Amino acid sequence: MGKVKKGQICSINNCASLAVRSLSQTKLKTALTDSGLKLKTLRGNRVYLCEKHYKILKKAMKKERKIEKWRYPTF
């Protein structure tokens, strides 16, 4: 049983909702700055997100992946 199922709280500042997803911090570094969200101080490498904040970060990560594809096109 993972931490999300045990009732982990969202890692975003001023959010007390229960987490729905867990993502690595390295994947979220630039997406967090683009979305304007701030993290609480964390001890591990995982970020726990509620449904609302996951949706916001998913959109930011999608935009970031699209830019990366344009940067390194496959021929």
Task: Work out the pLDDT band at 55, boundaries 50, 70, 90.
Answer: very high
Task: Return d(Cα 13, Cα 32) in angstroms, integer.
Answer: 12
Rounded to an integer, the average pLDDT of 5-21 is 89
Rounded to an integer, the average pLDDT of 53-61 is 90
CATH number of 3-71: 3.40.1800
* Share of residues in the chain with pLDDT > 70 (%): 99
Task: Return d(Cα 61, Cα 55) in angstroms, integer.
Answer: 10
Residue 1 clears pLDDT 70, i.e. is over it: no
What angle, 0 to 180 degrees and rounded to 10, lies between the N-to-C axes of helices 51-71 and 25-35? 100
